[in-house]
């Protein structure tokens, strides 16, 4: 119990300390016009109040990641708390804040355009591929997981396939609506359900006399029943609760609706901290209510949705537990919708198809949903493994974009370079060791090859950054933040 309460307190403290430091390092300009005002189009660029932007950001980035991830991460024991706390404060929240604010400074540009501007034009194509692959996987995973949860409350004749189809219809309708109608009207309701259900789960866990594992010297060992190594698997299992590249695809969406740079710390950094709190509560619940073997068997029997059902009912009873489950369901529904919306706009930017008519919107939207529907037929656990790797690769790219931005601006760039280096090494170890990659397993050869790959890429990154800075003129495009998105896209594609 002490670790859970203390961990949540540290997360909140991180917002008021390190969050302020990151904000000062970025150097906000409260009087600077934002894309929501200068590029207002009534569809994607729409000014919205701070509280609504924050709720949209939280629901966009949350999905089932900060719930499913920590549930699976609970297999490793209390060591999962460390990654959630440190990851959220020093990596995830910094990652979300930097991409959100850099996007805001560049007319609401998405990650591929930002990567092209700060890492070089050839990188844009690689980033586009990874970003679109990630969003497609995210959208698919966040259709599969709520469908699995909803199926527990529907008649036997309503199959998961039918529920999946209904969710896709909802997504299509919402995707073609203006953002203030599709998200601004519904998300506050979803947000209220999420917040109430999370508080209910946490309160019941603390007040119910459950033996919540604490982080001690003896409990720091690996609890995984199969002996799966903590590094690097834990850092991919718990992503949305610590650091997630998916967030880099969502923050630019909210940068298009923000009206003041002063809102950034609360909207981007703060909502990642809130996600860390959600992750702490669900990790603690899974560890407290089930032993490792039972938890492993429950996850293997389908998806972590089985654990969500059991935790909710055991802690809150049938009625309140059902309400809590609906609080979990709104997360993937909102994030899945946001994933497809971001995927459509990124693809439109890449193909230079202006989204100014319903026909053009549907031209890109329908094929994406058809592909995703086909992916729903693949085993969830397989999808999750590919999603987690693509997710953390995107996080590395986002952190390198942020590092280059700070470096060119003469700011402290170590705040993003350090987590970027750690995650880059983890990405290499994962792809070299796992069956979805080279399958060499965990061992000295994997660690050495991964270290060499990390050093090589960082060396190239540093060399290109130094050359980029040496070639800059005082009025360089790279040094000056652009407010006009159309101008930014033109500059990076020429």
- Please write the tens of the pLDDT for every residue from 332-374: 777 777 788 888 888 888 888 877 777 888 888 889 888 888 8
Q: State the sign of the Cα–Cα–Cα–Cα dihedral 111, 112, 115, 116.
A: negative
Q: Give CA–CA dist 164/148, Å, rounded.
A: 9
363 vs 88 pLDDT, higher one = 88
| Coil, strand or helix at 415 | helix
Q: Give CA–CA dist 137/249, Å, rounded.
A: 13
- According to DSSP, residue 54 is labeled H
Tens digit of each residue's pLDDT (9 = 90 or more) over 445-487: 999 999 999 999 999 999 999 999 988 766 666 667 754 444 5
Range with the largest mean pLDDT of 50-64, 216-230, 247-261, 479-493: 247-261
| Of the candidate ranges 25-34, 35-44, 96-105, the one whose mean pLDDT is the lowest | 35-44
Q: Is 177 left (phi over 0), alpha (psi -120 to 50) or beta?
A: beta
Q: Is 42 left (phi over 0), alpha (psi -120 to 50) or beta?
A: left
Tens digit of each residue's pLDDT (9 = 90 or more) over 91-104: 999 999 999 999 99
Say how many domains are in the chain: 1
Q: Give CA–CA dist 104/254, Å, rounded.
A: 9
Task: Check: CB of residue 336 under 8 Å from CB of residue 190.
Answer: no
Which domain covers residue 192, as residue numbers? Answer: 2-493
State yes or no: pLDDT of 488 exceeds 50. Answer: no
- Report the CATH number at residue 140: 1.20.1740.10
Query: 355 — phi, psi (to 5°)?
Result: -95, 70
Mean pLDDT computed over 164-192: 78
DSSP letter string over 138-171? HHHHHHHHHHHHHGGGS-TTS-HHHHHHHHHHHH
| Coil, strand or helix at 355 | coil
Residue with tokens 């866990």: 205
Cα atoms found within 13 Å of the Cα of residue 262, Cβ hemisphere only: 5
Q: In which band, very low, low, confident or very high, does the pLDDT at 303 lie, cut at 50, 70 and 90?
A: low
For residue 403, with 0-12 CB atoms within 10 Å meaning exposed, 13-18 middle and 19 or more buried, which class applies? Answer: buried
- According to DSSP, residue 107 is labeled T
> What is the structure's pLDDT at 125?
83
Mean pLDDT computed over 130-139: 82
Task: Check: CB of residue 265 under 8 Å from CB of residue 20.
Answer: yes
Tens digit of each residue's pLDDT (9 = 90 or more) over 410-426: 999 999 999 999 999 99
> What is the structure's pLDDT at 493?
37
Mean pLDDT computed over 223-251: 91
Q: What is the pTM of this model?
A: 0.88
């Amino acid at each position: 119990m002490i670790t859970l309460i203390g961990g949540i307190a540290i997360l909140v403290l991180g917002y008021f300390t390190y969050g302020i430091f990151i904000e000062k390092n970025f150097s906000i300009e409260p009087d600077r016009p934002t894309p929501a005002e200068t590029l207002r189009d009534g569809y994607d660029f729409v000014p919205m109040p701070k509280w609504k932007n924050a709720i949209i950001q939280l629901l966009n980035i949350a999905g089932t990641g900060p719930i499913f991830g920590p549930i699976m991460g609970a297999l490793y024991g209390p060591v999962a708390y460390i990654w959630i706390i440190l990851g959220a404060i020093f990596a995830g929240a910094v990652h979300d804040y930097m991409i959100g604010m850099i996007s805001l400074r560049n007319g609401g540009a998405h990650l591929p355009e930002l990567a092209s501007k700060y890492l070089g034009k050839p990188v844009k194509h690689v980033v586009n591929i990874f970003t679109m692959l990630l969003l497609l996987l995210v959208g698919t995973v966040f259709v599969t997981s709520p469908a699995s949860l909803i199926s527990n409350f529907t008649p036997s004749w309503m199959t998961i396939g039918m529920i999946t189809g209904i969710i896709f219809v909802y997504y299509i309708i919402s995707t073609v609506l203006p953002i203030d109608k599709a998200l601004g009207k519904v998300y506050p309701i979803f947000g209220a359900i999420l917040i109430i259900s999370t508080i209910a789960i946490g309160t019941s866990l603390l007040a119910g006399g459950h033996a919540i594992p604490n982080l001690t010297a003896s409990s720091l060992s690996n609890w995984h029943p199969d002996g799966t190594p903590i590094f690097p698997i834990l850092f991919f299992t718990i992503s949305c609760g610590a650091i997630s590249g998916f967030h880099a695809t969502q923050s630019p969406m909210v940068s298009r609706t923000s009206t003041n740079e002063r809102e950034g710390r609360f909207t981007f950094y703060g909502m990642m901290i809130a996600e860390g709190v959600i992750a702490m509560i669900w990790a603690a619940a899974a560890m407290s209510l089930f032993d490792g073997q039972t938890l492993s068997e429950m996850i293997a029997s389908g998806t972590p949705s089985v654990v969500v059902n059991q935790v909710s009912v055991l802690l809150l009873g049938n009625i309140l537990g059902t309400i809590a489950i609906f609080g979990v369901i709104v997360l993937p529904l909102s994030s899945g919708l946001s994933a497809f919306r971001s995927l459509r706009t990124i693809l439109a930017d890449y193909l230079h198809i202006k989204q100014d008519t319903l026909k053009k919107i549907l031209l890109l939207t329908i094929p994406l949903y058809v592909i995703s529907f086909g992916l729903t037929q693949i085993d969830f656990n397989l999808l999750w493994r590919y999603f987690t790797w693509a997710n953390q690769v995107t996080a590395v790219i986002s952190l390198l974009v942020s590092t280059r931005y700070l470096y060119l601006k003469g700011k402290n760039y170590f705040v993003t370079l350090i987590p970027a280096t750690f995650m880059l090494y983890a990405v290499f170890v994962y792809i070299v060791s796992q069956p979805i990659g080279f399958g060499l397993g965990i061992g000295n050869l994997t660690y050495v090859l991964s270290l060499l790959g990390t050093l090589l890429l960082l060396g190239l990154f540093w060399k290109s950054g130094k050359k980029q800075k040496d070639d800059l003129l005082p009025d360089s495009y790279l040094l000056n933040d652009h407010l006009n998105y159309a101008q930014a896209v033109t500059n990076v594609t020429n």
